[in-house]
Structure 1
Amino acid sequence: MTDGEFAPEPDEALLSRLALIDERPLESRAAAYRQLHDELRQQLEAADGDSARPA
């Protein structure tokens, strides 16, 4: 990383959620990760939509 690059702070809520998912039995982890993936995708798509709108 160079001096001009920004290193984002870790999202503690996300890290906690990932830790909780990792503690689940293997059989239920995939569904939990899929749900988290869908939620994050929706947030990113919403952010992309917001930045595409003229000010």
Structure 2
Amino acid sequence: MASMSDDSQTDAGAELIDRLRIIEEQPLDARADAYAALHDELSRRLEAGAVAPSDG
């Protein structure tokens, strides 16, 4: 049985993959800006402790 944190990690992973697919469909200059924005967002999440370590 999957725990709620497993479900949220799966959802976050699927969301990230969807965002990456959208970014990859953009022209190169727009992709660079989108990847930079994604990097900034993920960095903020890590610095804020939003990503909990796994218990595995």
Runs of 4+ in 1 over 4 A off after TM superposition: none
Which of 34, 37, 44 is the matching residue for 2:36? 34
Aligned pairs, number = 41
Query: Alignment identity in percent?
Result: 46
Counterpart for residue 48 of structure 2: 46
Q: TM-score scaled by structure 1?
A: 0.67
RMSD value, Cα: 1.9
Instruction: Structure 2 unaligned segments of length 5 or more: list them.
Output: 1-8, 51-56
Larger Rg: 1
Q: Relative contact order: is structure 1 or structure 2 higher (C-alpha 8 Å, sep ≥ 6)?
A: 1
SS at structure 2 position matched to 1:24: coil
Q: What residue in structure 1 maps to residue 26 of structure 2?
A: 24
